Copies of this chain bind each other. A is one copy, B any other.
Amino acid sequence: MTRALTRKGEATRARIVAGAAAEIRERGVDEVRLEDVMARTGTSKGQLFHYFPEGKEELLLAVAQHEADQVLIDQEPMLSNLTSWPAWLAWRDRLIERYLAQGVRCPLNGLLGQAGRRGPGAQAVVTGLMWRWQKAITEGIRHMQSTGDIAPEVDADRAAAALLAGIQGGVLLLLSTGKIDHLEAVLDLTIDSLRSGARTA
C-alpha cells in the first residue's frame, strides 16, 4: 500500500518538498503558489499531483513535518545533552544563533497559531514537535537534578513547560518585532533561575 516509488521518484518528491519549504520560508505559507514551487523545483503540475494526490494540503503537511524535524535536529547535539551548565549555555547559544540567522523566515509560522484549524494532520505535527522538544528539556532538567545542580523540589515537567513556552514566545516576538531580546531574556533568566534554585537544596 505504500506508494511504489522508484529511486528517481523518491528524489523528485524530496526535491519538491525542499523547494516548497524554501518557498514558504521566503514568502510565507499563504503566499505559496503551486506554480512557484514548480518553477523553483523544475517540476510540472502533473508531478506535483502525482506525488501528492491530495494536492496542496498534502504537500504543505509534508513540508511541515520536514521542517518540524529540522527544528529539533538544528538543536543537536546540545538539546540531547543538557548535562552540565556549560552544555545548557551552549544550547542557549545555538538557539539564539539559529533564530537570529533565520530571522523572520519561520517555516512553521503559519502553522503554529492555526494548527487547530489546519486540520488534524497539522495539529499532530505541531503537538508532536512540542512534545518532543519539551521532553528533551525535561530530561535535561532531570539529569541536572540527579547531579545536584538543580534542586530536587523543582518540578521538571512544569519548568520545562515554562521554558518551552518562553522560547516559543521569544521566537514569536522575534518574528513580530525583529528583535531577539525577548528570546535572550527568557533563556538567560530561566536558566539562571534553575541554577540558583540549586542553592535551596
Using CB atoms and an 8 Å cutoff, list the residues of chain A in contact with chain B: 27-28, 30-31, 104, 106, 109-110, 112-117, 123, 126-127, 130, 158-159, 161-162, 164-173, 175-178, 181-183, 185-186, 188-190, 193
CA A104 – CA B113 in complex, angstroms? Answer: 9
Q: How far is the CA of A166 from the CA of B168 in the complex (A)?
A: 8
Q: Is the CB of A172 within 8 A of B175?
A: no
Q: Which 7 A-B pairs rank lowest in CB-CB distance, beginning with the nearest?
A: A169-B169, A168-B169, A165-B169, A165-B182, A162-B185, A161-B185, A109-B113
A-B residue pairs in contact (CB < 8 Å), sample of 26: A109-B113, A112-B113, A112-B176, A113-B175, A114-B175, A115-B175, A115-B177, A116-B176, A126-B176, A127-B177, A158-B185, A158-B188, A159-B185, A161-B181, A162-B166, A162-B182, A162-B189, A164-B173, A165-B170, A165-B182, A168-B169, A168-B173, A169-B170, A169-B171, A169-B172, A172-B172
Can you tell how many copies of this chain the complex includes? Answer: 2
Q: How far is the CB of A164 from chain B (nearest CB, A)?
A: 7
Which residues does chain B contribute within 8 Å of A110, judged by CB atoms?
A: 113-114
What's the minimum C-beta distance from A201 to chain B, rounded to whole angstroms? 14
Residues on B with C-beta less than 8 A from A27 are 117
Distance to closest chain B CB from A183 (angstroms): 7
Q: Which of A27, A104, A116, A178 has the most CB of B within 10 A?
A: A116
Complex Cα spacing A30 to B126, Å? 19
Note all chain B residues with C-beta closer than 8 A to A127: 176-177
CB of A171, distance to nearest CB on chain B (Å): 8
Given contacts A112-B176, A115-B176, A176-B115, contact A182 B161 (CB under 8 A): yes
The answer to whether A178 and B116 touch across the interface, beta carbons within 8 angstroms, is yes
A199 to B28, CA, bound (A): 47
A31 CA to B30 CA, complexed, in Å: 11
